[in-house]
């Protein structure tokens, strides 16, 4: 499985590609940051992020895109910028038919470090170990993007089984309702 992780942000949007399967060593295929100038007009910044994400999608051809789920912060301006960058990443992937998964920061931290309250430095250290890198990716946004991809690779099998079980349960419930409705009409 090849996953593009996206740590959304207007000034620095972390991107990282990881390939592998749960239970086996993972391989980093690329890591970087899409940057936009803080003083540029919002529309121009979003276009620059789109172009950067599209370039990563063209180059790495991921099967999935994992994006950090935007969570509420005290700074509304920061949340808005993060949400806008997140939407651009989701749009780029969806336009190509690539499935998108959203993971919360605590899910990612827990998957990579074992603690949902881990500090950024701990995430960087674990990403370095898990991907057998010489040094933590810089800036932290790049390491966070790799952590998102790792989290998705590790969580996807369980999530798929859960979705299949839910779909099966819904199908069984529909069949029981249909059976019950048929009995009601014949009585």
Distance from C-alpha of 121 to C-alpha of 140, rounded to nearest angstrom: 8
Residue 162 has a pLDDT of: 58
- Per-residue pLDDT of 69-98, as tens digits, reads 987 667 787 889 899 999 999 999 999 999
Planar angle of CA 65, 66, 69, nearest 5 degrees = 135
Q: Distances in Å between the alpha carbon of 123 and those of 9, 17, 23, 28, 89?
A: 18, 16, 19, 15, 22
Annotated catalytic residue, options 68, 107, 119, 144: 68
Distance from C-alpha of 156 to C-alpha of 59, rounded to nearest angstrom: 23
Planar angle of CA 34, 104, 1, nearest 5 degrees = 70
- Mark whether 59 is an active-site residue: no
Confidence at 170, pLDDT banded by 50, 70, 90: confident
Q: Nearest 5°: phi and psi at 115?
A: -135, 125
- Mark whether 50 is an active-site residue: no
Confidence at 112, pLDDT banded by 50, 70, 90: very high
- Per-residue pLDDT of 152-169, as tens digits, reads 999 876 665 655 667 677
Distance from C-alpha of 164 to C-alpha of 11, rounded to nearest angstrom: 38
Distance from C-alpha of 130 to C-alpha of 114, rounded to nearest angstrom: 13
Q: Where are the alpha helices (DSSP H) in the chain?
A: 42-60, 76-95, 105-113, 120-130, 140-186
Q: Distances in Å between the alpha carbon of 54 and those of 15, 31, 88?
A: 11, 14, 10
Computed over every residue of the chain, the mean pLDDT equals 91
Residue 34 has a pLDDT of: 98
- Mark whether 68 is an active-site residue: yes
Confidence at 44, pLDDT banded by 50, 70, 90: very high
Q: Counting Cβ atoms within 10 Å, is residue 9 exposed (0-12), middle (13-18) or buried (19+)?
A: buried
Residue 75 has a pLDDT of: 75
- Per-residue pLDDT for 50 more than 80? yes
- Per-residue pLDDT for 172 more than 90? no
């Amino acid at each position: 499985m090849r996953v593009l992780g996206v740590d959304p942000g207007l000034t620095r949007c972390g991107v990282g590609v990881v390939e592998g399967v749960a239970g086996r060593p993972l391989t980093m295929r690329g890591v970087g940051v899409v940057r936009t100038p803080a003083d540029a007009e919002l529309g121009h910044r979003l276009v620059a992020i789109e172009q950067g994400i599209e370039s990563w999608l063209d180059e790495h051809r991921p099967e999935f895109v994992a994006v950090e789920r935007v969570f509420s912060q005290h700074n509304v301006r920061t949340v808005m910028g993060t949400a806008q960058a997140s939407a651009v990443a989701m749009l780029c992937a969806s336009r190509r038919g690539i499935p998108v998964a959203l993971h919360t920061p605590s899910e990612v931290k827990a998957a990579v470090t074992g603690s949902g309250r881990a500090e950024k430095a701990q995430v960087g250290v674990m990403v370095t170990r898990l991907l057998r890198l010489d040094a933590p990716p810089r800036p932290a946004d790049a390491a966070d993007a790799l952590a998102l991809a790792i989290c998705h690779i590790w969580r996807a099998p369980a999530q798929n089984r859960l979705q299949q079980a839910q779909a099966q349960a819904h199908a069984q419930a529909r069949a029981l309702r249909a059976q019950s409705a048929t009995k009601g009409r014949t009585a």
